[in-house]
Amino acid sequence: MKRIHLMLVWSAVVLGCTTDQHTSEKGATPQNEKATSLLLKDFKPRSLHRTAETAIGRAAFPVIDMHSHAYPKTLEGIDEWVMTMDRLGIAKTVLLTGQTGNGFDSLVNVYSKYNDRFILFCGFDYTGYDQPGFGPAAIKELERCVAVGAKGVGELGDKGWGEMYSKPQKALGMHPDDARMKPLLEKCAELNLPVSIHVADPIWMYQPMDSLNDGLMNAFKWRLDDKEAIVDHAGMMEVLANVVGDNPQVTFIACHYANFSHDLASLALLLDRFPNLYVDNAAQYGETSVIPRTTAKFYKRYADRIVYGTDMGVEEAMYKTTIRILETEDEHFYDHQISTYHWSMNGYGLDKSVLEKVYRLNALKILGLER
């Protein structure tokens, strides 16, 4: 990171003394030397507030994680993951593989030992997307993946330049509301396949990387403000509305609160407008736990439309932090492993009736597993 925009300089106004005075009084320690050249990327505070710290065991209800990925690729790694899931009460995990062809088949094979614990989504095969006649072959591959074991499609993705990432072939320059997507989505409706879709990124990534951007510490790594010919955040929300509205028979799960975590009121309008739209909360605990009261009210109102997700690996500590945020009223704590913002986290203290829907009941409905 460039020193010009990522240095914290603690001035005499902040410290109440000059660097020389501080050094002469305390001695030239390494800590004092670092104080005047601390990079934002190295700022990892610990809370000094003496507040409640709830011990986290298992989740309040058996959990279906609707947003994870095939992190372990070996049986040993998968065995360890399942043991972690057992300790925390994670009943099932949806793997958004984005894969087709041999790549998808290999994941089905390696995870088959625990086919009662892992649910695999496939991708779309975009081979020939830029050629006349695209569509029938992709539909045929989708049907094949379903026959092999796919229970949904995802994670489809577009942060603004139309990358539509899928493996092994991306569809560069094609947004989810492109007419070429229509036959594929119609087939998803016919096959009762839910579609997990990642549209945009958090708003901070689209803003100027300056002193007014309060998410700068995380946003700079994932910045999109300097990308040419990219659709901005507002434009991507229109894309989401277009694809969801044009395909009312498809159940969509918008990843990461549809990347509307900074404006839950606008997200509420989308949910009110489109009954076929759900959202997952994956990997945006940092963005929403900073506004716990607003977020808790949102969960209470839209308890039937939110599903639990992680998207942050397989570590036990990660799961515990998500449970702590959802279930407790703990305040002002940090987990730098799952959030690189400078904000502290706070619990929502959700009611049991809300938790059961978010953890499990909504997912059962989406996946057709209610019985």
The two three-digit tokens of residue 80, written as one number: 């360890």
Q: Per-residue pLDDT averaged across 91-119, rounded?
A: 97
Cβ atoms within 10 A of the Cβ of 152, count?
Answer: 25
Pairing of strands 252-254, 195-199: parallel
The domains found in the chain, sorted by start residue, are: 3-42 (no CATH), 63-367 (3.20.20.140)
Look-up: residue for tokens 């938790």? 355
What confidence tens digit (pLDDT) does each residue in 299-317 have?
A: 999 999 999 999 999 999 9
The whole-number pLDDT of residue 35 equals 67
Q: Give CA–CA dist 144/147, Å, rounded.
A: 5
Percentage of the chain modeled with pLDDT above 90: 79
pLDDT band with cut points at 50, 70 and 90 for residue 203: very high
Q: Per-residue pLDDT averaged across 84-100, rounded?
A: 98
The whole-number pLDDT of residue 30 equals 45
What confidence tens digit (pLDDT) does each residue in 11-43 have?
A: 332 323 333 333 333 444 445 546 678 887 788
Concatenated DSSP letters of 230-264: ---HHHHHHHHHHHHHH-TTS-EEEGGGGG-TT-H
Concatenated DSSP letters of 117-141: TEEEEE----TTTTSTT-SHHHHHH
Q: What's the whole-model pTM score? A: 0.90
Q: Per-residue pLDDT averaged across 113-135, rounded?
A: 97
pLDDT band with cut points at 50, 70 and 90 for residue 356: very high
Across all residues in the chain, what is the average pLDDT?
Answer: 90
